[in-house]
Structure 1
């Protein structure tokens, strides 16, 4: 018998799917209550790398000196913070913009959701990298859209195949408006798009009259010299919508992100956002404002880059030692490595067994893919890993593989 509430639900409920990451995190949390778990599952900065004592001092100062810290701010953000974000984008991203082109959001996640509300209609198609960030895929599916993935290689989205997909969809009369990309330190792959591919992507957007949503969450966690620029900094036609976030440097809990785009888009974002949340968390806005004003972004970032680069190097060395022959990505930026298990191994079942038997947590990557090609892939995070346990965790993965007992559904 159906629950009585079914008859009250919106038809949109048919598009809503649970996040597999949340499910995995719940299993890991339950296991961690009784057992020491080596976790490669997170997607966050290490709290021991973040200057929490400094934040405590800033928070005290904010609450004492800023009366407005306990009241609403403007829905689009504290005006002084928007000025500092515009300066930040000019200095670090080469994007010349102004505060009127910026809306502060509840992390990058809200920015992505707002774009879905404003741009996407049921039946529209969004093109993403394959694989892509699972929560973007899930939230845009809420709006009844179809997500189509374009393959990646070591240089990012294969833009020649992107153009083939765009041509095919247009020839079929499909509604295509938007390309979503994480060009630097991509989640889940860790891959960084080459400059040639970035230029080609913008050419395709211009040629076929498309918008580009550029997710820059990992732009400042770069570990090797790479000749790349944000798409928005090369955008001469205002086709790129910049999704910014301080989460991966300052901490995910602060929940401060932003959107930057042409005034026509930002004006509509501002109107749409007001009734949603009234404003982003005001104390967090003032903490970030003071971090930027006091020129603290660079040293905080430099510490994070040094620490995560060291962890990345340990993990890659361990993979090459214990998982010889398995394909994996080699990120120059971001927080993640993708690892391809043998083709006859199911990543979900393997991840469950790994947690249950060997107390190692990873994320099965199938949900990040728009097709079945990621069935045997797992995502490994190195930013939150304990350095002295990284090799042991990888060794345990190899032990489970050697047992060859993982069932294939």
Structure 2
């Protein structure tokens, strides 16, 4: 008897699945870290020392004593009290008036994005994103057989004129464009923030071409400068924006509590689709986040995170200017990331491989975040997880490798 040829049993959709470059790099870092100290600019997470673990321990201890159903299922769309608090949170922090009925609690923002793909996207549909865009959104929506076109950005975020130009061209070609996916604030991977005056223009263009907008707000609460950045959802007068929220970047990625908010027609379908997938989000984590919101401590946790990450951002920018003179880079006013552009003859993937193996510094090649070949020499650096006293040294080593390759 021979083993089956398992590949012949795979669905056609399985052939669209691609590996995550982030996960691959994390695995390499883990192996390397067993024998060497690695300075990592690779992750996209909160600093464990900024997350209020002691508070979580206290709240969790009390919750397991007083919440009788904490070990049972909740409704598939989330604990109703949590949905009420999220609605209040959106009003207080995002200027969005909504109802609990319009909210579905999800396994982080990632599940909300996948749900949107399941509900709205058919094979052959066209999706527009910023270029570059969040790689995991690109990967998961490719599972649904869509075509993805990136819209150029500049220092002020997505360029509305380029969006209009692309939609006009696609319309003339008879292409079916369903939606625009955007991370307007502290964008991943660029760290760029869409200028306030452009946000209104983006909504006007969406209305003009009758498309939906998926607004990913993962980094909205890590804003380091006193600038005005209203959510697209709060400015939306036509119900075109589907809001993807997440507590991951402030409260902790491991909590896995996010949400989808949007029109009832879509939300009701999301509830139906989600139930058979996971039954419900993790109930203990739902109640933990509920207690954080009820006790009004989110703002305190957020302010602590902003103070810590602003310092790290400033240290990274200072080091880039010191050790990488002449290199193009982004200057984030929000989020967790900086992009740097290597000379065109250097490929980011090879550069980061050598950087890890020879210099014990981890970074992510930004190439997979791009929808075309324009990112082959771009590297993403994360500052939120980096150790404060090692940021300067890590950037110095990047400069050392760059000098080695260019002299």
TM-score of the two chains, using structure 1 as the length reference: 0.98
Distance in 2 between residues matched to 1:231 and 1:372, nearest whole Å: 29
| Structure-2 residue corresponding to 1:194 | 195
Q: Secondary structure at the match of 2:233?
A: helix
Any runs of at least 4 consecutive aligned residues in structure 1 with deviations exceeding 2 A, and if so which?
A: none
Q: Specify the alignment match of 2:266 in structure 1.
A: 265
Match of 1:146 in 2: 147
Structure-to-structure mapping, 1:339-378, within 5 angstroms: 339-378=340-379
Q: Kindly provide the CA deviation profile for residues 19-70 of structure 1, in whole angstroms up to 9, marking residues without a partner as x.
A: 1111111111110111000000000000100110110111111111101110
CA distance in 2, matches of 1:146, 1:93: 31
Q: Distance in 1 between matches of 2:380 and 2:171?
A: 34
Map Cα deviations across residues 293-322 of structure 1 (whole Å, 9 max, x no partner).
000000000000000000000000000011
Tell me how far apart the structure 2 counterparts of residues 161 and 336 of structure 1 sit (CA, whole Å).
24
Shift of 1:3: 6.1
Aligned 1:8-407 pairs, distance under 5 A? 8-404=9-405
Tell me, what secondary structure is at the counterpart of 1:123? coil
Give the Cα–Cα distance (whole angstroms) in 2 for the partners of residues 320 and 337 of structure 1: 13
* Unaligned runs of at least 5 residues, structure 2: none
User: What is the number of residues matched between the two proteins?
Assistant: 406
- Tell me the distance in 2 between the aligned counterparts of 1:97 and 1:192: 24
Cα distance in 2, alignment partners of residues 192 and 404 from structure 1 = 32
Cα 1:393–1:3, aligned 2, differ >3 Å: closer, same or farther? farther
Which SS does the other structure have where 2:373 is aligned? Answer: coil
Q: Give the Å deviation of 1:405.
A: 6.9
The separation in 2 between residues aligned to 1:173 and 1:257, in whole angstroms, is 35
- Cα drift, residue 227 of structure 1: 1.4
TM-score by length of 2: 0.99
Tell me how far apart the structure 2 counterparts of residues 75 and 146 of structure 1 sit (CA, whole Å).
Answer: 31
Q: CA deviation at 1:2?
A: 11
1:70 aligned counterpart, secondary structure: coil
- Secondary structure (helix, strand or coil) at the match of 2:259 reads strand
